[in-house]
Amino acid sequence: MANTMLEVDRITVRRGMDIVLSECNLALDGGQSAVLVGPNGSGKSTLLEACAGLLTLEQGEIRHDNIAVVRPDGARAVSTTLHGLTLQRNGAMGSETIEEHLRTAMSSVGRQTDLQPWLERFKLEHRRHDLIAHLSEGQARKVAVLAGLLPAFVAPSPGLVLLDEPTTGLDAAARAQTLTWMNELTRRGHALLVSSHIEEVVQTCTHTFDMASLQLQASTSPPDSGEPTSSLQPVATEPLTTESGGRFGRRQHLRTQAWLSINGVAALLTLGVLLVLGDIETSLSASQTLALMLAPAAAAGLVGEAMASLGREERCDDWRLAVGLGTAHGTPLIAALGAAFTLLAGIALTGGIDLRYIAAGAGLSAVVAWSMGFLQRSVRRLARPQAVFVGLFTPVLLLPYALLVDWLA
Amino acid sequence: MEGMTYLAVGYFGMVVGIGLWTYTVVVRSRRLADRLDAMEAALDRLDSGEAEQA
Amino acid sequence: MKVRVGEALLLIGFLGITSTLLLALLWAPSVSLDAFESPAAQRIFYWHVPAAWAAFIAFGALFLGSAGWLFKRSERMWRLHVAGAEAGLATGLITVWSGCVWGAAEWGTPWDWSDVRLNTFGLLTLLAVYLVLGRASQPDGIETRDTFAGFGLYGFVLVPFTYIATRIWAIRHPGPVVATGEEGSINGDMGLVLLVGAVSFTVLIIGHMLTSMLITNSEQRLLQLQRRMDGGGP
């Protein structure tokens, strides 16, 4: 008997002021695909995102292959069974190329395959090295769908695939191809949970889950199973190391030059102000000189982590969180900026180089930028995260700066 | 500024600040109460109109 | 016009703290000139200390409300969270402002980055500013409440830290003047003015929180009525 890949156990989910799901149960075995059916606002995306571990539960539990991944007390575990996720938003940063994003998606299961045939079927081969920001809406959606399906095709064992409106925005050929792949994944033993309004999708799935009655029913017209399961060709794969959030963030920082244009400019402006003060070193105490020397490094960190705001684009951070990839950050680059600007400020103020102070500058920028990134991300659940003032906490981050100066001096 | 003058200015700032704050809290509370009364009256009229039509 | 308990307490509290101010300036004895660099500015502590006391009450309410919302999903506790944040903002600002005025006269600088108690109190006040402004910028809902209640809990962790900081890291900040267990730290008349200040600030803060809870209750009721008018609510 196939494993139960997904168990939704009496969950209640609130969004805004409303209870969207109440005491909802659902179990899905490997080899089954269920489509969530119901009108707009009936909770299809809510259920799908809850299954992906992206929402807080008021009660109940969600298990992937018998392992609790979300509990109402807020406890979460990384799912090793979730082999693909397509959200309503595309989950990709505009500064990633198609190839990079698909490799990132496959890295969540630790295997990769040749992308060419997959891209050809979606007529994306010629855009393989293009930035996602440069694609049309339909093309970007195709990439998001591939990012949800490909990891399951290359995963060493069957798992769970969650797809929110995968065919919306696709042309007829891409829609048919998506349905074929969904069908094939089901026959390979994966469990698929799909949200869709489209009749073709309903006909492709083995089950329907009615959002009004919260009941799972076997489809009255089971999908055409095509060739027998035994004839399915295994997808040729090779190992792929999971890409850490640091590596991903560094790559995006270097491509967008956000580390220079945001953190670097803040440090440069602060250094500029120091230079305007002229030859003041002789009138300053040792601790005052050190405070000025470390000021550009502190400023580099205080302006925040660009990846935290870029991660909100198309819900990239949420997608990475759900598929078990780390949070994107560019802390080492910002630390390097802190070191470089402390060196420059040291030369400008004292004419000398002190490695201790350079190391302190690097550490200061890193700690402050990381803290700012944490604060920026702590508001990710809000309806208008850009409207809250996390900048109010920046004066507090002057405290480690002051303590560091006190300690070093 | 020296001594008591300095202190008086410091205190004055605080008294004005807390006075204004207290005033805004009371005004907010009263305005909300008025809005609630108006809304409840409007809903009552709406309900009684529907009842008459029925 | 109907006068509510909260508003009456606000008025009594305000009169009380104004009286404390007059007593502090005109009646309370001055301390020995050797004890402080600026004996006149020292009189600010008749407001500074009671305001800090009231701020701790407010931040305590904020913590209780935050925990009650996160763990019990209690509407009453959410109202307490909002009231604690607003009252914490008012009293926190008074404490920080009076501290700055005093510090400028006593230390020669209004702020000392190496004083951890001062800085953690500043952080609590910033937290209150953040919660009040942040809540105003968001639609009410579980996501908003969970996020800000989380910040409320985080903020309160700093309160015991602040308390310990007064004993371990106090560099310039005077040590605690009350409840130290030592005799003679403040004399009778000074203690009386301080007591009047503490009681007044406590009454003011309770009045503030009651009014604030009433405001949040009214906002929620208004939202329900609006939804009913839209045809979407009960």
Among A182, A204, A232, which residue terminates a domain? A232
Q: Which of A185, A211, A232 is the last residue of a domain?
A: A232
Tell me, rounded to whole angstroms, the distance of Cα A321 from its chain centroid: 5
* Sign of the torsion angle spanned by Cα atoms C184, C189, C193, C195: positive
Residue A123 identity:
K
> What is the rounded CA–CA span in Å between residue C59 and residue C84?
6
| Partner residue facing B36 (CB), from C97, C212, C222 | C222
CA A104/CA C227 separation, integer angstroms:
44
B touches C (3+ CB pairs < 8 Å)?
Answer: yes
- C–A touching, 3+ CB–CB pairs within 8 Å: yes
The structure tokens listed for A75 are 């406890």
Instruction: Report helix, strand or coil for A119.
Output: helix
Same domain for A30 and A143, yes or no, is yes
Tokens standing for residue A400: 């480690």
Task: Please check whether residue A165 lies inside any domain of the structure.
Answer: yes
Taking chain B, what is the end-to-end CA distance rounded to the nearest angstrom? 76
For residue B13, which amino acid is it? Answer: G
Statement: residue C180 has pLDDT above 50: no
* More reliable by pLDDT, C171 or C81: C81
Domain C6-24+40-219 fold is: Four Helix Bundle (Hemerythrin (Met), subunit A) (1.20.120)
Confidence of residue A371 (pLDDT cuts 50, 70, 90): very high
pLDDT at C185: 54
Chain C closest-CA separation from residue A278 CA (Å): 24
- Cβ of C10 within 8 Å of Cβ of B18? The answer is no
* Together in a domain, A15 and A160: yes
The model's pLDDT over A96-112, given as tens digits with 9 standing for 90+, comes to 999 999 999 999 999 99
**Angle (CA) A379 A385 A391, round 5°:** 75
Amino acid at A37: V
Residue A239 included in any domain: no
Q: Cβ C113–A387 below 8 Å, yes or no?
A: no
Across the interface, whether the CB atoms of A383 and C119 are under 8 A apart is answered: no
Of the three residues A193, A209, A232, the one that is the final residue of a domain is A232
Write the Ramachandran bin of A110: left for phi over 0, alpha for psi from -120 to 50, otherwise beta.
Answer: left
CATH number of the domain where residue A13 is located? 3.40.50.300
Residue A189 and residue A68 share a domain? yes
Query: In the structure encoding, which two tokens stand for residue A338, read together?
Result: 């802190």
Closest CA to A124 of A87, A173, A88: A173
Q: Residues 37..96 of C with a Cβ closer than 8 Å to A: which?
A: 73
A224 and A262 inside one domain: no
Residue C109: predicted pLDDT: 77
Segment C134-148 shows an average pLDDT of 92
The DSSP-derived string for A301-367 is: HHT--HHHHHTTGGGHHHHHHHTTPPPP--HHHHHHHHHHHHHHHHHHHHS---HHHHHHHHHHHHH
pLDDT tens, residue by residue, C8-45? 999 999 999 888 888 877 776 665 555 555 666 667 77
Judge whether residue A155 has pLDDT over 70.
yes
CA of A56 to nearest chain C CA: how many angstroms apart? 9
Got the DSSP string for chain C? -PPPHHHHHHHHHHHHHHHHHHHHHHTSPPPPTTT-S-HHHHTTHHHHHHHHHHHHHHHHHHHHHHHHHHHH--HHHHHHHHHHHHHHHHHHHHHHHHHHHHHHHHTSSS--TT-HHHHHHHHHHHHHHHHHHHHHHS-SSHHHHHHHHHHHHHHHHHHHHHHHHHHHT-SSS----SSSS-TTSS-HHHHHHHHHHHHHHHHHHHHHHHHHHHHHHHHHHHHHHHHHHHT---
CB contact under 8 A, A381 and C147: yes
**What is the model's pLDDT at position B34?**
92
Mutate which of C75, C123, C144, C145 to test chain A, going by most A C-beta atoms within 10 A?
C144
For the residues C158-179, what does the mean pLDDT come to?
56
A254-259 contacts at long range (C-beta below 8 A, 24 or more positions apart): A254/A333, A255/A95, A256/A95, A256/A306, A256/A310, A258/A306, A258/A307, A258/A310, A258/A330, A259/A306, A259/A330, A259/A333, A259/A334, A259/A337
Model confidence band, residue A181 (pLDDT cutoffs 50, 70, 90): very high
Minimal Cα–Cα distance from A382 to chain C, Å?
5
**Chains in touch with A (≥3 Cβ pairs < 8 A):** C
Say if the Cβ atoms of C226 and B39 lie within 8 Å: yes
User: How do the residues of chain A divide into helix, strand and coil, expressed in percent and rounded to 5?
Assistant: 50, 15, 35
Residue A120 · residue A250 · CB < 8 Å: no
Question: Is C234's pLDDT higher than 60?
Answer: no
pTM, full prediction: 0.83
Binned at pLDDT 50, 70 and 90, residue C124 comes out as: confident
The contacts of residue A144 (CB under 8 Å, 6+ apart) are A86, A87, A90, A91, A92
Report residue C17 as tokens: 């703290």
CB atoms closer than 10 angstroms to residue C73: 14
Q: Do chains A and B touch (3 or more CB pairs under 8 A)?
A: no
Q: Do C208 and B25 touch (CB under 8 A)?
A: yes
Looking at the structure, do residues A251 and A185 belong to the same domain, yes or no? no
Q: Compute the distance between CA of residue A222 and CA of residue A202 in angstroms, rounded to an integer.
A: 10
Residues 6+ apart with CB under 8 A from C27: C189, C193
Is residue A404 one of the residues assigned to a domain?
Answer: yes
- Dump pLDDT digits (tens) for C100-122: 887 877 777 777 766 667 777 88
Has residue C179 got a pLDDT over 50?
Answer: no
Pair (A224, A251) in one structural domain: no
Residue of C nearest to A402 (CA): C113
In this predicted structure, what is the pLDDT of residue C38?
Answer: 60
Please report the pLDDT score of residue A174 as a whole number.
Answer: 96
The Cα of C210 is separated from the nearest Cα of chain B by a number of Å equal to 11
The enclosing H or E element of A254 equals helix A245-256
Average model confidence (pLDDT) across chain C: 81
Q: Which residues on A lie below 8 Å from C122 (Cβ)?
A: 395-396
Q: Are strands A67-70 and A33-37 parallel, antiparallel or unpaired?
A: unpaired
Interface test with A, best of C96, C113, C154 (most A CBs within 10 A): C113
Whether residue A170 is found in the same domain as residue A262: no
The CA distances from residue A346 to A278, A285, C71, in Å, are 14, 14, 51
Q: What does the pLDDT read at residue A325?
A: 92
Quote the pLDDT of residue C228: 83
Q: Are residues A45 and A150 in the same domain?
A: yes
| Nearest-angstrom CA–CA distance, C151 and C172 | 29
Q: How high is the pLDDT of residue C184?
A: 46
Domain count, chain A: 2
B47: nearest CA in chain C?
C229
In a domain, A207, yes or no: yes
Q: Using CA atoms in the order C22, C25, C30, C35, what is the torsion angle rounded to 10 degrees?
A: 120
Best residue in A14, A21, A392 for a mutation probing chain C (most C CBs within 10 Å):
A392
- A179 in a structural domain: yes
In a domain, A340, yes or no: yes
* Chain C 113-172, residues with CB within 8 Å of chain A CB atoms: 113-114, 116, 119, 122-123, 126-127, 129-130, 133-134, 137-144, 146-147, 150-151
Kindly state whether residue A240 falls inside one of the protein's structural domains. Answer: no
- Token reading at A395: 């004066």
Residue pair B36/C225 in contact (Cβ under 8 Å)? The answer is yes
Tell me if A178 is assigned to some domain: yes
**Higher per-residue pLDDT: B23 or C164:** B23
In what helix (H) or strand (E) does residue A149 lie, and over which residues does it extend?
helix A137-154
Report mean pLDDT in 10-residue bins for chain B, 54 residues: 68 86 91 91 82 70
Query: Nearest CA of chain B to the CA of C223: how many Å?
Result: 10
Quickly state the pLDDT bin for A398 (edges 50, 70, 90).
confident
- In a shared domain, residues A137 and A30: yes
Same domain, A177 and A46: yes
Predicted ipTM of the assembly: 0.80
C93 vs chain B: nearest CA distance in angstroms? 9
Domain extent for A374: 245-408
CB contact under 8 A, C40 and B7: yes
CB contact under 8 A, A395 and C122: yes
Q: What residue ranges do the domains of chain C occupy?
A: 6-24+40-219
**Residues A221, A252: one domain?**
no
Please tell me the distance from the alpha carbon of residue C46 to that of residue C24, in angstroms, as a whole number: 6
Contacts of C55 in chain B (CB under 8 A): none
A225 and A250 fall within a common domain: no
- Cβ of B25 within 8 Å of Cβ of C212? The answer is yes
Per the DSSP assignment, residues forming a β-bridge with A162 are A85, A193
| A4-15: strand order across its sheet | A18-29, A4-15, A59-64, A67-70
Q: Which of C14, C97, C215 sits opposite B28 (nearest CB)?
A: C215
